[in-house]
Structure 1
Amino acid sequence: MKQFEITDDFYLNGYPFKIISGAIHYFRVVPEYWHDRLQKLKMLGCNTVETYIPWNMHEPQEGAFDFTGILDIRSFVKIAGELDLFVILRPSPYICAEWEFGGLPYWLLQYPELTIRQSCPLFMQKVGNYFDRLFKEIGDLQLTAGGPVIMMQIENEYGSYSNDLHYLNSLADMMIDRGVTVPLVTSDGPWGDMLENGSLPDRALATINCGSDVKQHFKRLKQFHGRKKPLMVMEFWIGWFDAWEDSKHHQTSVTEAANELDAILSEGSVNIYMFHGGTNFGFMNGSNYYDKLTPDVTSYDYDALVTEWGELTPKYEAFRKVIGQYTDLPEMDLVTDIVYKSYDRQFVSEKVSLFESLEDISSKVTSVSPVSMECLNQGTGYIYYKTEIDKAGVIEDFRLLNCMDRAQIFVNGKHLATQLDQEIGEKLTLTLAASDSQLGILVENMGRVNYSAKMLHQKKGISDGVLINGALHTGWDIYSLPMTNLQQLDFSKPYEEGVPAFYKVICTLDEVGDTFINMTGWGKGFVVINGFNIGRFWSVGPQQSLYIPAPLLRKGENELIIFETEGVVSPHVTLTDTPNLG
C-alpha cells in the first residue's frame, strides 16, 4: 500500500516527493473531456491534479444530492488515477472559485438564525449532513484505501474571512470522523494575519495562495511554520478571471509566470491555478463586490495553460520547459478526438414573449408583499413580480427596497427603467395613464458574491417591498423563473418586440464538433442547447461568444433557445470555430 506523509517534507512511500499539480474543476468541464484535460496535465509533467468540490451543485436543494454526469466526482478521480495522477481534493463547504455563493447552497439563506463559515451549530449540522453523503463518494478513493487522493483541504482562504479556529478544528474533526485518513491542509494568502487566522499548524499543513513574489512569500511561510516543513503554493495564480464590463479579457506575461514557477519549484511544491479553467455553465458564475457588484462572465478561461475549449497555449509550452528541469516529461498520444467546427448563420424560427409564457414555465404565488427567491425555494435565474395599481396620474416616489441584483421595471408591458446594484432603491417617477395599470418587475440573480463579508447578505429578488408614493404596496403575483423547464414553452403564443422574450433556433448538423455561438447583435440573457444551459451573454463584454462542447450537440436536429431581456436581438446567431473572449 502506498503511503503519503507530511513531516519536514512531502514523502511518498518514504521518499521525498515534489507535488507538481494543476487545477481542473470537473464541474466546469463536460465529462466526455475529462480524460483529455487530465492527459494534457500529465503531458505537462504534472504528477497531481487538484479540484474543488462545490456543495451547491451536489446538494442543490436540501437533502437532494446529485453525483451524476458532470458531478460524477468518483469517475473524475478514477480517470486521474488511471493516468497515474495523484489527486488533491478540496471538499470544504466554501470554495470561493469565482463560483455562485462560493459553493455554498442558496438554501442556507432560508435559515435566519444560521451564520455561514463560523461555529454556528445549525451551519455545522448542515455541513455534517452534506459530509455524510459526500464522503461515501470519495472516502475509498484515498491513497490509504488504494486510491489516488493524497491530501484534502479543511477550508479555503479562511484567514481572509474570519479567525474562528474552533470552526476550523470542528471541520477537521468532522472529516476525520467520516473516515479521512490522508493529510489535511489549509491555504491562505501570505499577507497580514491571513495565515494566523486560517491555519491549524498542529493538525494541517499551511500552504499559501499567490501569483507573484514567491521567494518573499516563501520566507513568510517559513517564518510561520517555525520549523522545517514543506513549502507549497496551493494556488499559483497564473492568470485571472473576467467580469462583465471589463475592458478586455485578462492575460498575463508568459515569461513572468514561467519564472515564478521556477522559483516555486526550486524550493517547494505547486498547484497551478488554473491549469484548465473551463466554463461557468448555467447561472453558476460568482460575483465579487468591492466598490460595486462585478459578476463574472461565463468563460472561466483564466488565461490558463489550456484554454477554456482545450487548446494548449504558449504558456503551457513555457511551463513544460520549466517542469522538465525538475522531472521527466512523459510522451503520450492524445486519445480524445476534438475538432472545431463552423456552422455559419443559424436563423431564429420561433419566438414568444416572457409575459405570455409565465404560466407555462412557472406557477404563480400570491403574496401580500414581494418575497425573495429563497422564500420560494429558488436559487438562481430570474423572478417576476406583478401587481395592479388602481390609480391614474403621477407617482412621484417609486422605490424598490432591498432588491438584488438587477431589476427591470415594466408598466403595462412596456419597459420603464432598469436598475443595477447600487442604482436599486433610487427614486423613480411613474406616470400612469389609466386607473387599472399593471406593474411588472423582472429581477435577475447575476451570481451571488463568492468572497468577503458581502457573502452574509445574498438573498436575491425583492426582500423588503416596493414603495409607491411613500407607502408599501401590497397584492402581488410572483413567478419563480429558474429557467430549467423551457421545454414547456409554447411558441404559438404572442410575441412583442422590445420586451424579454424567448427565441428558438433549430440547427441541423451533418457533423458534430466544438463550436462557439457568437452573440454579437444580442443584448443580455442566456443560451440553452438541447436542454443544457451553456451560460450567460451580455453585450457589455468582454466576452462575446459562448463555448459549446461537441458532446452537447448531436447529428441532425439541435434545439437552441435564447432568452433575451433587453429587446436587443438579431434574426440569427453564428456558430463559428473561433472564440471571442474580448
Structure 2
Amino acid sequence: MNHQQQSFAIADQFYLNEQPFKIISGAIHYFRVVPEYWRDRLEKLKAMGCNTVETYVPWNKHEPREGEFNFEGMLDVRKFIQTAGELGLYVILRPSPYICAEWEFGGLPYWLLKDGDMKLRFSYPPYLDAIDRYFARFFEETNDLQIGSGGPIILMQVENEYGGYGNDKSYLYAMADMMKRHGVNVPLVTSDGPWHDMLENGSIQDAALATINCGSGIKEHFNKLKAFHGEVKPLMVMEFWIGWFDAWGDDKHQTRDADSAARELADILEEGSVNIYMFHGGTNFGFTSGANYYEKLAPDTTSYDYDALLTEWGEITPKYKAFQEVISRYVELPKVELSTVIRKKAFGEVTAKERVSLFAVADLLAVPVESPYPLTMEALDQSTGYLLYTTDLGKNRRIEDFRLIQCTDRANVFINQKPLFTKYDLEMEGAEAFDLTEPDNELAVLVENMGRVNYSVKMNSQTKGIKGGVIVNGAFQSRWTHYTLPLDNLELLDYSKAYAEGTPSFYRFELEVDEPADTFLDFTGWGKGVAFVNGFNLGRFWEIGPQRRLYIPAPLLKAGINEVIMFETDGKAPGVIRFEDSAAFME
C-alpha cells in the first residue's frame, strides 16, 4: 500500500481516513504457512470479500535464544505484511509477548524458565525487561508499515486474552506503554472472552479498545460488550471461532457446520466488525504445536487445519462460500486472479534405504553432559525435541520401586537398550517393579517434550525433561549422562552404525519426483515420532490420531531425489511410507 496521509482512528466506530470503516478480517499465521504460499492465501482472503488480515507474532520463533533474532524465511513478518499491502489488504498485528494460538508455550520463549522465580505475564521486572529488549528489535521490522507511514497496519493488540489468566492491570499498561515507546502509533485493542470476569480482568479501556473472542451467541455477547464500554464504541469480535483444533487422542477431527457459523457471521456484521479465526489455519511444523492441560495433557496435532475456511493445504471449502455470500451483502466482491499454481500429487510407496538406532548415534547428535542428578531441557539450554538420559544401575537384582518424579511429558524407558515400558503424563509417577538380569545394567530414559502448555494455570510449570529425579528402590539415582536431541542436525547421522528392532531409530527414504507438488505423508503402521523432508522438520506423527497424514507443501520438495527421515521412538516402524494426494483424519 502506498496511501499517503492515511489514518485510522477509533471513536464511536472505526474511521479509515475519517470515513466509517467496517473491519472484515481473517486470520492467517505467516509462521504456519510456507512463504511461497503467502500470496495465494492472501488472494483467497481478498476474494472472499475481506479487507484485512490478522496475524499473531510468535516471540519464541523470532528470539529462539535470548538475544538471537530471526526474521527470515517463514519468519519474515515484514514481507508477509508487505504482501498483504500489495494486495490492498489492511493488517491487524498481534505482536506478543503471549499469543496462545495452540502454539508451543503460547509463543513465550523457553529460556524465560531458566529463571527459577519467573512469573510469566505479570509485572515481574526480569520478564518485562526481556519483553522490552525483544520489542526494541521486533518493532524495527514493522514501525514504518503502520498506516500513518503509508503502510497497511491499522491496529495492534496488547497481550492476548489476559482476562483468562490474570488481572494485573499494571502489567497491561506496561505492555501498552512499551509498545508506544518502541514506535507503535496505531490504535490499540485488547481481546478477551465475554464470560465471567474476563472482560474486566483483561481490559484497559483508557488505553485500548476492548474486543471479544467467541464462536456463538453473538447478539448476547455484543450486548454485554456495549454495556461494558459504557459509551458508544465500535463492536468487534477479534476471534470469531469458526472451527476448532485437534489434540492427539481425539476420537475424530473437530469440525463446525457452515450454516451455523455463517448465521453468526451475519449477526456480527450487522452490528460490528470481525476477525475470522481461522481463515486459514496452516500447519504446526516441527516442534511448534502447543498443548492444553485441564484434567490431563492434551497436546495439539501437527495439522492446524482448524476446519477453517481454507483447508490446511489452502483449498476453498463450502464454509468459505457460505461466508463469502454473507460478506457480499456488505461489500462488492473484488475480482481476484489467483497467481500461484498449486498441484497435489500421490507419489506412491517408498521403502527405507537405511536405518540406525538412536543409541548408536546419540553421541554424534549431542555432546554428552554429565551431572550427579538429572537436568531439565531448560538447564541444558534446549527448547524442544527429546532428551536422552542414561545411568549405570549396577548389578543384577530385583527393582521393587522405580519412579520418574516430575518428568514431562512422555518417557520411553530402556534397560540395556531394550524397551521396558513407556510412561505418559498422569502415569508418570506410578511405581514399577522389574528384574535386572545382566551382570551390568544401563538405564536409559528418552523424554519427549510434547509441546509446552499454551493456556491457563499450568504455564508457570512448563519445564521439560526430568526435574525431580528417578527413584530406584526408594532412593534417588545419581550419576547421569544427558544427550540433548532437538534433532536440528540430522546431517550428522551415520547409517553404517548399529540398528536394533524395537528401539528408537532413524529411517532414511529417498523420494524421487519429476516436479514438486503438494503431497501427504501417510504414516499408517508407524508408532510415534517426527518426520523430516530435505532437512525440514515436518512435525510429529502418532498412531493414536486423529491425524493420519502429514501435509508436505510442494516448496519443500525439489525435482529429483528428496531425502525423507522418520525418527520413531516406540519400535513400530514398518519401513514403508506412502505419499498420497489428500489429507486423512479419523472419522
Q: Structures share a fold, TM > 0.5?
A: yes
Deviation, 1:253, is 1.2
1:209-231 C-alpha deviation (Å, 9 max, x unpaired): 00000000000000100000000
Aligned to 1:21: 25
Name the structure 2 match of 1:74. Answer: 78
Alignment of 1:364 with 2:368, yes or no, is: yes
Q: Secondary structure at the match of 2:363?
A: helix
**Cα distance in 2 between the residues matched to 1:255 and 1:473:** 59
Equivalent position SS for 1:374: coil
- Is it true that 1:297 corresponds to 2:291 in the alignment? no
Distance 1:231 1:327 in 2: 18
Other-structure match for 1:232:
236
Contact 1:141-1:149 within 8 A present in 2 as well? yes
Q: State whether structure 2 residue 177 is matched by structure 1 residue 138.
A: no
Alignment map for 1:381-392 (pairs within 5 Å):
381-392=385-396
Structure 2, unaligned stretches of length 5 or more?
none
What is the rounded CA distance, in whole Å, between the counterparts of 1:27 and 1:354 in structure 2? 30
What is the CA–CA distance in structure 2 between the aligned matches of 1:578 and 1:570, rounded to whole Å? Answer: 21
Equivalent position amino acid for 1:267 in 2: E
Deviation (angstroms), 1:581: 2.5
What is the TM-score of this pair, normalised by structure 2?
A: 0.99
Q: Which residue of 1 aligns with 2:100?
A: 96
Distance (whole Å) between structure 1 residues aligned to residue 472 and residue 563 of structure 2: 42
Measure, in 1, the Cα distance between the counterparts of 2:259 and 2:69: 44
Distance 2:289 2:576 in 1: 26
The match for 2:352 is: 348
Determine helix, strand or coil for the equivalent of 2:352: strand
For 1:241 and 1:194, how far apart are their aligned partners in 2?
A: 22
* Equivalent residue for 1:400, pick from 380, 404, 408: 404
1:171 aligns with 2:175: yes
Q: Are 2:118 and 2:460, in contact at CA under 8 Å, matched by a contact in 1?
A: no
Partner of 1:483: 487
Give distance in 2, aligned partners of 1:184 and 1:578: 41
What's the CA shift string for 1:239-280, capped at 9, x where partnerless? 000000101101111100000000000000000000000000
Give the alignment partner of residue 328 of structure 2, picking from 324, 331, 337.
Answer: 324
In 1, distance between residues paired with 2:296 and 2:336? 47
Structure 1 residue 113: Cα displacement: 2.3
1:546 — aligned with what? Answer: 550
2: CA distance between counterparts of 1:435 and 1:228? 79
Alpha-carbon shift at residue 125 of structure 1 (Å): 0.2
**1:457 maps to what in 2?**
461
Q: CA RMSD in A?
A: 0.6
In structure 2, the residue matched to 1:334 is: 338
Question: Cα deviations across residues 281-320 of structure 1 (Å, max 9, x unaligned)?
Answer: 0000000001100000000000000000010000000000
Paired residue secondary structure (2:353): strand
For the pair 1:195 / 2:192, whether they are aligned, the reply is no
**Are the counterparts in 2 of residues 241 and 301 from structure 1 also a CA contact under 8 Å?**
yes
Distance in 2, matches of 1:91 and 1:286, equals 18
Q: Per-residue CA shift, 1:100-159, capped at 9, x if unaligned?
A: 000000000001122110000000000001001000011111001110000000110000
Residue 92 of structure 1: CA displacement?
A: 2.1
The aligned counterpart of 1:519 is 523
Question: Identity rate of aligned residues, in percent?
Answer: 59
Equivalent residue for 1:265? 269
Partner of 2:253, secondary structure, is coil
Measure, in 1, the Cα distance between the counterparts of 2:321 and 2:440: 66
8 Å CA contact 1:389–1:435 kept in 2: the answer is: no
CA distance in 2 between counterparts of 1:113 and 1:434 reads 43
SS of 2:173's equivalent? helix
How far apart are 1:567 and its partner, in Å?
0.7
1:53 to 35, 57, 60: 57
Alignment partner, residue 447 of structure 1: 451
Q: 1:2 and 2:2 equivalent?
A: no
Aligned letter for 1:31? P
Q: 2:478 aligns with which of 474, 477, 486?
A: 474
